[in-house]
Amino acid sequence: MPHLFEPIAFRGVSLRNRIGVSPMCQYSCENGLATDWHLVHLGSRAVGGAALVIVEATAVEAIGRISPHDMGIWTDAHTEPLARVARFVKAHGAVPGIQLAHAGRKASRGRPWEGGHHVPNETGGWPIAGASAIPFDEGWRTPEPLDDHGLARIREAFVAAIRRARDAGFEWLEIHAAHGYLLHSFYSPLSNHRSDQYGGSFENRTRLLLEVAKLARSEWPDDKPISVRISSTDWEPGGWTLDDSVALAGLLKASGIDLIDCSSAGNTPKPNVVPGASYQVPFAEAIRNRADIPTAAVGMITEAMQADDIIRNGRADLVLLARELLRDPYWPLRAFKTLHAKGDSPVPPQYLRAW
Ligand SMILES: Cc1cc2nc3c(=O)[nH]c(=O)nc-3n(C[C@H](O)[C@H](O)[C@H](O)COP(=O)(O)O)c2cc1C
């Protein structure tokens, strides 16, 4: 029976356990460049025993940032500061991953701890791009719908970003197609009212994501895995559903995607959901079983037994933790002890005297 500390391999990449650091924006970059903050923040979580450390949403073009302080990878100058993070994470036993993203209609906002307000052009904001001219909410910018030329630019930006991520030494690629950002806003009928071949039917709305996924698979090394983070449901009447996600997961699998990272919501301001412990795990379980593809569960997973139960009962192949790993970067080391796990301890030799 698999368990939380059982290694698992995806293509040629081995994870020492089933715990990943969920991507988390730090809003701490200038011009999209990784800094010492990212080295220490992500490095501590590798030292803390996670198997997979995924760098936050990293913008494939400058206007694809959520805020002016987001991570980016739209020029060659972005590669080396990220490579430094990837090297450290790898040297300490974790697999370095990166989430490539485009914020679409949710771009040009301030840092959450400064209120997350709209940033106007005069103070460093920018005109935004999206599927249709529908703002996310009242007081948000209206996106300029991407035309054929714009869509080609997005695909090219993903390709260039993927090559840079590869050159930086990342071994796990995640495409961000959740939380109301560009790719999600195309596949959700709530934000996509287009009448061209990228709007209307399920096939048309998922076209852009599948194009990006196929490009990713052809650019990313064959021996390295790719995951796609989706919003498994919009939690809204008339929105994207779990059944849609199962169908999409099958198409992503056929495009060479190795794992679906099963999040939800983010495309409407007030989705009909009250989050609680493991509340998104049923999505990871359904997609895993019905589309026959490995999944990651994420969302309010905070206890060792809870995480172990998800793996043991075949509800997901990985658990990704976000806020709990902000509270405690050593959560995996503690979980190893709590569960009396067998196998190689993830405790770094420098810390052994404490364990
Ligand atoms: C500070 C912070 C930043 C986040 N940034 C991202 C991000 O860059 N990409 C993403 O897909 N999700 C992001 N999320 C969502 C988390 O990855 C995760 O899905 C969510 O917090 C639920 O997991 P949790 O209950 O373990 O925190 C962020 C969450 C937090 C708390």
pLDDT tens digits along 47-58: 999 999 999 999
Between the CA of 172 and the centroid of ligand 1 the distance, in Å, is 18
- At 79 the pLDDT is 98
Instruction: End-to-end CA distance of the chain: give it in Å, rounded.
Output: 27
Task: Check: CB of residue 60 under 8 Å from CB of residue 158.
Answer: yes
Q: Whose CA is nearest to atom 29 of ligand 1?
A: 24
Q: How many independent structural domains does the chain possess?
A: 1
Nearest atom of ligand 1 to the alpha carbon of 99? 9
pLDDT at 143 > cutoff 90 = yes
pLDDT at 319 > cutoff 90 = yes
Q: Percent of the chain beyond pLDDT 70? A: 100
Task: Check: CB of residue 91 under 8 Å from CB of residue 65.
Answer: no
Task: Check: CB of residue 146 under 8 Å from CB of residue 154.
Answer: yes
187 annotated active-site: no
- Locate 165 and state its tokens: 């991520």
Q: How far apart are CA 92 and CA 61, in angstroms?
A: 30
- Residue 5 resides in a domain: no
- What is the rounded (10 degree) CA torsion for 138, 111, 72, 165? -100
Asked if residue 22 has its Cβ within 6 Å of ligand 1, the reply is: yes
pLDDT tens digits along 204-227: 999 999 999 999 999 999 999 999
- Residue 208 resides in a domain: yes
What residues contact 156, with CB distance under 8 A and at least 6 apart? none
- Locate 250 and state its tokens: 């099958």
Task: Check: CB of residue 178 under 8 Å from CB of residue 231.
Answer: yes
pLDDT tens digits along 270-311: 999 999 999 999 999 999 999 999 999 999 999 999 999 999
Task: Check: CB of residue 170 under 8 Å from CB of residue 83.
Answer: no
Instruction: Look up the domain containing 153 and give its range.
Output: 16-354
- Enumerate long-range contacts of 124-127, CB under 8 Å, 24 or more apart: 124/68, 125/68, 126/62, 126/63, 127/63
Nearest atom of ligand 1 to the alpha carbon of 263? 19
Q: How far apart are CA 45 and CA 98, in angstroms?
A: 14
Asked if residue 161 has its Cβ within 6 Å of ligand 1, the reply is: no
pLDDT classification of 343: cutoffs 50, 70, 90: confident
Tell me what the pLDDT averaged over the chain comes to. Answer: 98
More confident call, 174 vs 342:
174
pLDDT classification of 1: cutoffs 50, 70, 90: confident
Asked if residue 23 has its Cβ within 6 Å of ligand 1, the reply is: yes
- Residue 10 resides in a domain: no
Q: How far apart are CA 345 and CA 332, in angstroms?
A: 10
- Residue 213 resides in a domain: yes
Asked if residue 183 has its Cβ within 6 Å of ligand 1, the reply is: no
Q: Whose CA is nearest to atom 26 of ligand 1?
A: 322
pLDDT at 344 > cutoff 90 = no
Between the CA of 183 and the centroid of ligand 1 the distance, in Å, is 17
pLDDT classification of 18: cutoffs 50, 70, 90: very high
Q: Which residues is 14 bridged to in the sheet?
A: 9
Alpha helices in 115-205 (DSSP H): 148-167, 182-187, 202-205
- At 271 the pLDDT is 98
pLDDT tens digits along 56-81: 999 999 999 999 999 999 999 999 99
Between the CA of 100 and the centroid of ligand 1 the distance, in Å, is 14
Q: Is the pTM of this model over 0.85?
A: yes
Between the CA of 298 and the centroid of ligand 1 the distance, in Å, is 9
Element (H, E) at 16: none
- Residue 2 resides in a domain: no
- At 149 the pLDDT is 98
- Residue 48 resides in a domain: yes
- At 282 the pLDDT is 98
- Residue 6 resides in a domain: no
* Phi, psi torsion values for 283, nearest 5 degrees: -70, -45
Task: Check: CB of residue 285 under 8 Å from CB of residue 197.
Answer: no
Asked if residue 39 has its Cβ within 6 Å of ligand 1, the reply is: no
Domain of 166, CATH number, reads: 3.20.20.70
- Locate 138 and state its tokens: 């009242």
Q: Whose CA is nearest to atom 15 of ligand 1?
A: 24
**Complete DSSP assignment for 193-251:** ---STTSSSHHHHTHHHHHHHHHHHHHS-TTS-EEEEEES---STTS--HHHHHHHHHH
Asked if residue 321 has its Cβ within 6 Å of ligand 1, the reply is: yes
Element (H, E) at 302: none
Between the CA of 314 and the centroid of ligand 1 the distance, in Å, is 23
27, 181, 198, 330: which is the annotated catalytic residue? 181
